[in-house]
């Protein structure tokens, strides 16, 4: 049987706890907070792909990630994670299968992809997206010989036709890439003739999605002596399209024209650049972690004179909201 002293002590403890609970509730009401209000902290990890090019030899070189410094809005950031160049990559191909990409352009596209995957790390994982008026995810493929063969076969069986919703397809495909990411780096590669005529989004929105994505990115603009929408597209127009696309994605856009050997060299060069790239990740602190666009800069300590550092110039923190694209087929 409980003694009288212990019983009184238990009652006192219970009353004290009740007073604390009531006090906290009153404080919340004074602050204007209802029972449905919550306070949460959303920690965002930002990725930055960095590569280096020897400007004299025009080829990619390996980076020592330990010598890199990262600045967001001119504030140095603490690098939380480093994916060295030895790490495998999840590579997403976004391939244009619109009407203007028939024939020679389709053959050249398959040659670019085939050359690229042969030159890249066999441990890579590939995701194929295709688009015309809308986009679809075709499949996922390993980087070994069987996976590469299946990837090219999937491209060969695509039906070409329709318009070109490049900007919307890139924006929506990028959201799905992160979902399929495996351990290692991320890359997004666009292959198109560059003429967008069916997007709900614009090229700035596509660029914003790539800034949010943060992985390695580039584009191949396929050039063939052909007509697009009934009008002849000269070489100068292809170069203009590539320049505009490069500005939109914040990365290089390579024109795939001329002899097969030239296209092979370009595809091998891009595969080497991606393979030798490193990926830095950091948790931006206030105010660099606020929703919106922020500048980013990567510095290389003791950088050799003829080495160019390639990285995105900004990143975007998006609000966590659901958004709809132009659909898939």
Residue 78 lies in a domain: yes
**Given strand 75-77, what is the order of strands in its sheet?**
75-77, 68-72, 292-300, 314-317
Among candidate residues 274, 293, 309, the one where a domain is terminated? 274
125 and 22 in a common domain? no
Mean pLDDT of 231-239: 66
Mean pLDDT of 145-169: 95
144 and 26 in a common domain? no
226 near 104, Cβ under 8 Å?
yes
Total count of domains within the chain: 3
CATH of the domain at 150: 3.40.50.410
222 and 242 in a common domain? yes
Residue 325 lies in a domain: no
| Spatial CB neighbours of 128, under 8 Å, sequence gap ≥ 6 | 92, 93, 95, 137, 138, 139, 140, 141, 151, 154, 155
Strand-pairing partners, residue 96, are: 131
Q: In the chain, which ranges are continuous DSSP H helix?
A: 4-30, 104-119, 145-156, 166-179, 203-213, 235-249, 260-275
Tokens 């688009």 belong to 131
Residue 323 lies in a domain: no
Domain residue limits at 311: 46-83+278-317
Among the ranges given (35-39, 111-115, 202-206, 265-269), the one the predictor scored with the smallest mean pLDDT: 35-39
247 and 102 in a common domain? yes
Mean pLDDT of the chain: 81
Nearest alpha-carbon partner for 175 in 291, 329, 326: 326
263 and 167 in a common domain? yes
312 vs 319: CA distance, rounded Å: 20
| Spatial CB neighbours of 169, under 8 Å, sequence gap ≥ 6 | 94, 129, 131, 134, 135, 199, 326
Among the ranges given (18-32, 169-183, 189-203), the one the predictor scored with the smallest mean pLDDT: 18-32
Sign of CA dihedral 189, 195, 200, 201: positive
Name the most confidently modeled range: 120-124, 177-181, 206-210: 120-124
Among the ranges given (63-67, 77-81, 113-117), the one the predictor scored with the smallest mean pLDDT: 63-67
pLDDT value at position 101?
92
SS3 274: helix
231 and 112 in a common domain? yes
293 and 256 in a common domain? no
pLDDT value at position 28?
38
Asked whether the predicted pLDDT for residue 210 surpasses 70, the reply is yes
Mean pLDDT of 90-112: 94
Cis geometry, peptide bond prior to residue 94 (ω within 30 degrees of 0): no
Name the most confidently modeled range: 49-53, 177-181, 193-197, 303-307: 49-53
111 and 140 in a common domain? yes
Mean pLDDT of 270-294: 92
118 and 62 in a common domain? no
315 backbone φψ class: left, alpha, beta (φ>0; ψ -120 to 50): beta
259 and 126 in a common domain? yes
Residue 217 lies in a domain: yes
């Amino acid at each position: 049987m409980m003694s009288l002293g212990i019983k009184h002590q238990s009652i006192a403890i219970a009353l004290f706890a009740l007073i604390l609970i009531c006090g906290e509730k009153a404080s919340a009401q004074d602050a204007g907070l209802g029972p449905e209000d919550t306070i949460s902290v959303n920690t965002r990890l930002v990725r930055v792909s960095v590569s280096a090019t020897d400007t004299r030899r025009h080829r990619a070189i390996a980076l020592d990630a330990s010598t890199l410094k990262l600045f967001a809005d001119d504030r140095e950031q603490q690098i939380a994670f480093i994916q060295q160049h030895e790490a495998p990559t999840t590579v997403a191909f976004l391939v244009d299968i619109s009407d203007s990409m028939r024939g020679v352009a389709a053959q050249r596209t398959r040659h670019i992809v085939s050359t690229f995957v042969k030159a890249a790390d066999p441990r890579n994982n590939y995701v194929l997206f295709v688009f015309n008026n809308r986009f679809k995810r075709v499949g996922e493929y390993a980087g070994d010989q069987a996976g590469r063969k299946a990837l090219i076969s999937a491209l060969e069986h695509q039906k070409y036709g329709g318009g070109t919703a490049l900007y919307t397809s890139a924006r929506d495909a990028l959201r799905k890439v992160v979902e399929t990411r495996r351990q290692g780096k991320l890359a997004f590669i666009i292959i198109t003739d560059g003429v967008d005529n069916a997007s709900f989004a614009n090229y700035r929105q596509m660029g914003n999605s790539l800034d949010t994505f943060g992985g390695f990115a580039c584009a191949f603009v396929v050039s063939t002596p052909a007509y697009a929408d009934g009008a002849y597209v000269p070489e100068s127009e292809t170069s203009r399209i590539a320049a505009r696309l490069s500005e939109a994605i914040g990365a290089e856009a390579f024109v795939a024209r001329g002899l097969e050997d030239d296209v092979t060299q370009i595809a091998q060069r891009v595969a080497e650049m991606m393979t030798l790239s490193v990926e830095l990740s950091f948790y931006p602190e206030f105010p660099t972690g606020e929703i919106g666009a922020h500048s980013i800069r990567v510095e290389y300590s003791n950088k050799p004179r003829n080495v160019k550092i390639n990285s995105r110039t900004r990143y975007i923190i998006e609000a966590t909201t659901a958004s709809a694209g132009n659909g898939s087929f």
